[in-house]
Amino acid sequence: MPHPPVLDEFDHRLLELLQRDASLTLTALGDAIGLSASAVQRRIARYRKAGLMRQVAVLDADLLPAATLAAVWVTMERDTFRLHSAFRARMRAAPEVQQCYAVAGQWDYLVIIVARSVAHYREVAERLFVDEGTVKRYETRLVFDTIKQGLNLPTAPLPRRRKK
């Protein structure tokens, strides 16, 4: 696993801008944070080499026909490394799985799935959650409306609190 790069204040500002709009020119990015276009280009290359950043197209689901979202809560049959490893590998390999989180509480995972329809979701759920004894139980909540969807991550460390 690559080591995370050490980030300075320029990096934090640049990463915030890139998360909002990665189509900005190197010159526009540099002007916004006070660096030259070539310095911005070197920093972006460093982020990519370190695995911190990759570039993808984010599509607007509201403009595509038939996108059904489902939030699925999953409890595993037993708490063994082998079962969890197999489940995680299955989630990573499934193109319909947009997000998968290991969570605390009565459920083991929260999985966000996108499908072409409710019928397609049922096929996906059968493939992913009904198996040879790894998943004990799953519950599905269909998403009616997306209120907010974000991809931005905080880049700057939290400020230290002053001691009183």
Whole-number pLDDT of residue 150: 83
For the domain covering 61-142, report its CATH number: 3.30.70.920
**What residue type is 38 in one-letter code?**
S
Strand partners, 141: 71
Report the predicted TM-score, pTM, of the whole model to 2 decimal places. Answer: 0.77
- All residue ranges of the chain with pLDDT < 70 are 1-2, 158-164
Q: Which two structure tokens, joined as six digits, stand for 5?
A: 């790069």
Structure tokens at 85: 């490893």
Please tell me the CATH code under which domain 9-50 is placed: 1.10.10.10
Cβ neighbours of 69 (radius 10 Å): 18
The contacts of residue 88 (CB under 8 Å, 6+ apart) are 100
Given a contact cutoff of 8 angstroms between Cβ atoms, the answer to whether 70 and 144 are in contact is: no
The structural domains of the chain, with segments of one domain joined by +, span: 9-50, 61-142
pLDDT at 163: 66
